[in-house]
Amino acid sequence: MEVNQTYFSLNTTNSNHDYVLSVRGVSKFFGSITALKEVDLDVRKKEIHVLLGENGAGKTTLVNILYGIYRPDSGVINVFGKDVRIGSPRDAISYGIVLVQQHPMLIDKMTVAENLSISFRKLGYFKSPKIIKELIREYSSRYGISVDVDALVSNLSFSEKQEVELIRALLLDVKLLILDEPTTMLTSYERRKLFSVLRGLIDEGRSVLLITHKVVEALEISDWITVLRRGEVVASRPKNAYSVDELVKLVVGESIRAEPIVSEDFSPGNSVRRPEVLSVKDLTVVNDAGGIAVRGVSLDINSGEVVGIAGVSGNGQKELSEALAGLRKVKGGKILICGLDVTNRGPGDRVRAGFAYIPEERLRYGVIGEMNVAENFMLKNHKSFSKYGLILEKDVVESVEEGIKAFNIVTRGPSEKVKALSGGNIQKLIVARELRSNPKVILAHNPTLGLDLKSAVLVRELLIKARSNGSGILLISEDLDEVLTLSDRVVVMYRGSIVYETSRTTASRDVLERAMLGLVNV
């Protein structure tokens, strides 16, 4: 550690600035797409620098370049006053740069200690990773992070995995820690904890580059904000030099409504009795470990109604939504779609009965990454796009292009592979596909997770529109505000059961939050 420090201070003396990182004119093209165009970025010592931008703005691409995962097509990267070529994550690490990616980058089948040992450069190749356990314990207590060194990574929660990655960065004596949308999957408690760890790192003289698409979050945590839009830097100033409105405008390029429009007929508890489209009776589902994840849940959803399930993640929402979608076996109870018993039928039968699914795990259940945008778009609508079993190429392309426009999907076109799309754009593609067929029931699980403001508003508007067209919607979301704005009825899930139910008009945020923590009983 000592050696490293002198190494870095030697280099900084050559530079007149206090810059840890200085990027000049970096561009990156993926085929005909310009992901980054002449980007400049300066990160100072002891600074929390936020990189703000909407979906597809190029944030992930930029930090992937800084971590050596992608190569820039042009531009210079300067670290501690020295021009460097970052050809691989190993190079980046040797310059003191560590990236914590959007999805945890750890080997699931190995333990925490094993994962960290691989990463620890000072450990000889034929040394036992045991030595590292002591170090991990020391670091975790110093920074107030608790990790079980012998735990298998696959058994850790998202935030625990993130903590392991933080420890990893610290073991590597990180100078510039980069985090790609670290808060998306965190509860507000975990988020606060993360931020306090980050502040601790700053105090020690390290720097942080944090990515987010949430304006409020950027203002809360940062010292400096750089705004990226469609691959270009549109502003870079100290936090205090921005006003909220201005920042929002800079991010999306135009002013937008922050709340989704609520159509006139949005009157909860309508007097007209609508037919039931989804009926769940006494449903019991087990999780991967064999424990009961959903216990005796009963729900009825009428046509033209949104029922929101609020709850802290990990209280059975995942298992419930997978069971409803036919992706997970049901242990007991019944699921009826428009009166048809689909309990033990596959997803195909549900789709035919009028069921649409906007999954949480997009890449796993929502799209086929290797197939292109058009192919993914017609996955569920083959019939309407084919004649005598042959695909009507022209119809597909037309309607995909329509979808791309309507949903503002950033893509090179219908023939681009889906895995090349940014996370937010993949989600928009799924929503466009699912809503196209006028479904009777829509199951939306965290439908706006990872979406920027504009896309989130768009998705919410579309859900409300589907509701006006008579769809019954089950919304499972960790975002309480989302549940409150969209739902006619709200139920709270806690430890696999529904513990509280209320209508939108009578819902109180406070009571709901208490119920989410299991402090209220029906």
Partner 1 sequence: MIDTFLVGNFIFLTLKNAVPLVLASVGEVIAERSGIINLGVEGSMVVGALVGVAVTLMSGNYLLGFAVGGLAGLLLASIHGFITVVFGANQIVSGIAVTMTGLGLTALLGRGYVGRSLYGLRPSPLYPYDVGVPDYLKPLLAALVRHDIIVYLSIIIPLLATWLLFKTKYGNSVRACGESPSVAESLGINVILIRFSAVLLGGFLAGLGGAYLSLGIVGTWVENITAGIGWIAVGLVAFSMWMPVRVLMASYIMAALISMSYILQGKVGVSSYFLAMIPYIGTIMILTIVNVERFKLKLGAPTALGRPYIREERLG
Closest approach of Cβ 423 to Mg ion, in Å? 5
Residue 40 CA to its chain's centroid (Å): 26
Supply the DSSP symbol for 363: I
The answer to whether 371 contacts ligand ATP (rule: CB under 6 A) is: no
Closest approach of Cβ 65 to Mg ion, in Å? 13
Q: Is 294 exposed, middle or buried (0-12, 13-18, 19+ CB in 10 A)?
A: buried
Residue 3 CA to its chain's centroid (Å): 38
Rounded CA-CA distance 376/266 in Å is 33
Query: 92 or 293: whose CB is closer to ligand ATP?
Result: 92
128-158 in b/e burial notation, b at 16+ Cβ within 10 A? ebeebbebbeebbeebebebebeeebeebeb
Which tokens is 328 given?
Answer: 């997970």
Q: Is 163 exposed, middle or buried (0-12, 13-18, 19+ CB in 10 A)?
A: buried
Q: Give the CA radius of gyration of the chain.
A: 24
Which of 88, 146, 503, 506 is the binder for partner 1 (CB under 8 A)?
Answer: 88
Which of 12, 27, 33, 148 is the binder for ligand ATP (CB under 6 A)?
Answer: 33
Which of 128, 155, 415, 468 is the binder for partner 1 (CB under 8 A)?
Answer: 128
Neighbours of 522 (CB within 10 A): 11
Choosing among Mg ion, partner 1, ligand ATP, none, which partner's interface includes residue 93 (Cβ < 5 to 8 Å by kind)? Answer: partner 1
Query: 337 or 373: whose CB is closer to ligand ATP?
Result: 373
β-sheet bridge partners, residue 252: none
Which of 24, 30, 123, 152 is the binder for ligand ATP (CB under 6 A)?
Answer: 30
The answer to whether 367 contacts ligand ATP (rule: CB under 6 A) is: no
Which of 168, 191, 433, 460 is the binder for partner 1 (CB under 8 A)?
Answer: 168
* Residue of closest CB approach to Mg ion: 60
Please report where in the chains the tokens 């928009």 appear, as a residue: 428
Which of 20, 26, 35, 429 is the binder for ligand ATP (CB under 6 A)?
Answer: 35
Closest approach of Cβ 370 to partner 1, in Å? 11
Rounded CA-CA distance 66/175 in Å is 13
Cα dihedral 111→116→117→122 (10° resolution) = -170
Closest approach of Cβ 79 to ligand ATP, in Å? 21
* Phi, psi torsion values for 365, nearest 5 degrees: -110, -15
Query: 140 or 422: whose CB is closer to ligand ATP?
Result: 422
Query: 140 or 427: whose CB is closer to Mg ion?
Result: 427
Query: 94 or 287: whose CB is closer to partner 1?
Result: 94
The answer to whether 296 contacts partner 1 (rule: CB under 8 A) is: no
CA distances for 392 relative to 152, 378, 382, 396, 483, angstroms: 49, 11, 10, 6, 39
The answer to whether 119 contacts partner 1 (rule: CB under 8 A) is: yes
Are the C-beta atoms of 166 and 107 separated by less than 8 Å? no
The answer to whether 53 contacts ligand ATP (rule: CB under 6 A) is: yes
Closest approach of Cβ 84 to Mg ion, in Å? 24
The answer to whether 110 contacts partner 1 (rule: CB under 8 A) is: yes
- Give the ranges where 302-422 is alpha helix by DSSP (H): 317-324, 347-352, 373-377, 393-406
Query: 14 or 32: whose CB is closer to ligand ATP?
Result: 32
Q: Tell me which stretch binds partner 1 (CB under 8 A): 31-39, 43-51, 75-83, 100-108.
A: 100-108
Which tokens is 147 given?
Answer: 């990790």
Per-residue binding string, Mg ion, 48-77, x by CB under 5 A, is ------------x-----------------
Residues 391-450 that bind partner 1 (CB under 8 A): 419-420
The answer to whether 103 contacts partner 1 (rule: CB under 8 A) is: yes
Closest approach of Cβ 150 to Mg ion, in Å? 32
Q: Tell me which stretch binds partner 1 (CB under 8 A): 93-101, 261-269, 439-447, 501-509.
A: 93-101
Q: Tell me which stretch binds ligand ATP (CB under 6 A): 131-139, 247-255, 292-300, 417-425.
A: 417-425
β-sheet bridge partners, residue 502: 490
Helix (H) or strand (E) holding 250: helix 244-252
Q: Which of 423, 404, 414 is nearest to 101 (CA)?
A: 423
Which of 17, 85, 90, 142 is the binder for partner 1 (CB under 8 A)?
Answer: 90
CA distances for 236 relative to 38, 43, 185, 228, 229, angstroms: 14, 11, 27, 9, 12
- The string of DSSP codes covering 413-472 is -TTSBGGGS-HHHHHHHHHHHHHHT--SEEEEESTTTT--HHHHHHHHHHHHHHHHTT-E
Closest approach of Cβ 301 to partner 1, in Å? 32
Rounded CA-CA distance 134/179 in Å is 26
Choosing among Mg ion, partner 1, ligand ATP, none, which partner's interface includes residue 213 (Cβ < 5 to 8 Å by kind)? Answer: ligand ATP
Rounded CA-CA distance 98/89 in Å is 8
Non-local CB neighbours of 309 within 8 Å, separated by 6+ positions: 317, 320, 474, 475, 476, 477, 483, 490, 491, 492, 493, 498
Choosing among ligand ATP, partner 1, Mg ion, none, which partner's interface includes residue 397 (Cβ < 5 to 8 Å by kind)? Answer: none
Which of 71, 142, 192, 274 is the binder for partner 1 (CB under 8 A)?
Answer: 71
Query: 140 or 212: whose CB is closer to ligand ATP?
Result: 212
Query: 23 or 464: whose CB is closer to Mg ion?
Result: 23
Which of 22, 55, 115, 317 is the binder for partner 1 (CB under 8 A)?
Answer: 115
Interface with partner 1 by CB under 8 A: which residues? Answer: 67, 69-71, 88-90, 93, 99, 101, 103, 105-110, 114-115, 117-121, 123-129, 168, 172, 363, 369, 419-420
Interface with ligand ATP by CB under 6 A: which residues? Answer: 30, 33, 35, 53, 55-61, 213, 410, 420-424
Interface with Mg ion by CB under 5 A: which residues? Answer: 60
